Amino acid sequence: MGGNDAEKARVIQTLLFVSGLSTLLQSLFGTRLPSVVVGSYSYIIPTTSIVLARRYNAYIDPHERFMETMRGIQGALIITACFQTAMGFLGFWRNAVRFLSPLSVVPYVTLTGLGLYHLGFPMLAKCVEIGLPGLIVMVFISQASSQYLPQILIPKRPIWDRFAVLFSVSIVWMYAQLLTSSGVYNNRPAKTQISCRTDRAGLFTAAPWVYIPYPFQWGSPTFHAGEAFAMMAASFVSTFESTGTFFATARYGSATPVPPSVISRGVGWLGVGVLLNGMFGCVAGACASVENAGLLALTRVGSRRVIQISAGFMIFFSVFGKFGALFASIPLPIVAALYCVFFGYVSSAGLGFLQFCNLNSFRTKFILGFSFFMGISVPQYFREYYHIDFRSGHVHTSSGWFDDMVTVIFMSHTTVAALVALILDCSLSPETDATRKDTSLQWWERFSLYSSDLRNDEFYGLPCRLNNLFPTL
């Protein structure tokens, strides 16, 4: 799409700035869970289609092509935001979520974490001499894993689990800097240097010291109907993934299962976040952060106040670009090492709902096994046939936007697993007392209606007093 390091730095600053704003809105008015809102990976395919659109081939200058492409992405995100906001605030998503049961939630939440496996070890292996030590140090330090280090050094306060990420990233980052400074990667291939070196991001020198993102900084957005439909499919997928993340966040935040009305309200505010992404000019829409849900399990901190303070840091690092660029220059294999732990925790949150299901029932076994298998197998089939360079996949029609819609939906492990489990759970056999007992609907239904359990108001209701504005979950 053109552009240089300076424009890349501005895009990252803008995305970080909008993510901070969206996180504040979500924690104050949305689900009110300790959940961070970030850019979604599900928007990569429609964004790539916009980048490779033929109408931009006429622009020879890289800067001009970058500006025009950003305007096209902005227009598609703005239209998508209207769709997602209406789906959340008008209650359409609430009516769909209320059919969920603990049985259908198991593959839903589990595949939310497992579905991002390609961001774990495959990305870590691009520089295994950095990524693998990062994973080992992370597992060794964290108290919530096998408790290796806490058995040797027993602090008076919970230090290792609270600061495991800071300690492990700092140690491995200094190790990567030592390898870079010693010239280990001087004669290595370019792909290896990009993944391993700490000075190849090009962000620190290009980022301005102070820059405040503002709406429509790239110019007036342009609109294309087909690209907007493809973006809507991506927002539909991100809604599925965010809902699974909300369940995992509530689980690790010691909250009750999220009522459908609260999830729908959160989806509506995610749509507001997508609108901000489109207005400020980001390359992706918004969704709830899956890795943050795993971080809650690692640190055992489920406070909204902590999330809101972190949102303030996100805004600070986006305005003062040099600080944000310094952290953005961390080699991706180090981040992938963290993902291996975080996504594993999210997957285990979904498996935790198995305790409410009757695993001796063959109906339960079939729904779980079939939804897990199809949730892994179908997206893998579409991923093998999809080539991002040529925008080609298994689906070939005269409308590229329709191909993108089908590809985005069926390449999502979470979406496929959730749809299969929900359809089978609702239609496989008539609802009887035995079926309700197998899926634990008697326990689940008390949280389906907001007013049916007093604890829902404690976790998700707006506080009546000023000193309860930021309650700790």
Is the pLDDT higher at 206 or at 228? 228
Q: Give the pLDDT band (50/70/90) at residue 404.
A: confident
Q: Which domain holds residue 99?
A: 5-461
Task: Identify which of 25, 16, 41 has the alpha carbon closest to the alpha carbon of residue 284.
Answer: 41
Q: How far apart are CA 462 and CA 441, in angstroms?
A: 27
CA dist list (Å): 51 to 286, 316, 396: 19, 30, 19
Q: Give the pLDDT band (50/70/90) at residue 237.
A: very high
User: What is the residue-averaged pLDDT of the chain?
Assistant: 85
pLDDT of residue 435: 78
CA dist list (Å): 453 to 100, 257, 282, 374: 18, 11, 40, 35
DSSP-assigned letter for residue 214: -
Q: How far apart are CA 407 and CA 410, in angstroms?
A: 5
pLDDT of residue 111: 94
Q: Tell me: the pLDDT tens digits for 17-48?
A: 999 999 999 999 999 999 999 999 899 989 99
Q: Give the pLDDT band (50/70/90) at residue 465.
A: very low
pTM of the model: 0.89
Tokens 């805004």, residue located = 315
pLDDT of residue 55: 87
Q: Decide if 242 is inside a domain.
A: yes
Q: Decide if 124 is inside a domain.
A: yes
Mean pLDDT over 115-143 rounds to 87
- Chain CA centroid to CA 464, Å: 31
Q: Tell me: the pLDDT tens digits for 242-263?
A: 999 999 999 998 888 899 999 9
pLDDT of residue 310: 92
Q: Give the pLDDT band (50/70/90) at residue 69.
A: very high
How many distinct structural domains can be found in the chain?
1
Q: Give the pLDDT band (50/70/90) at residue 464.
A: very low
Mean pLDDT over 226-247 rounds to 93
Count CB atoms within 10 A of the CB of residue 455. Answer: 11
Q: Decide if 468 is inside a domain.
A: no
- Chain CA centroid to CA 199, Å: 27
pLDDT of residue 473: 37
Q: How far apart are CA 8 and CA 6, in angstroms?
A: 5
Q: Tell me: the pLDDT tens digits for 205-227?
A: 777 888 899 999 998 999 998 88
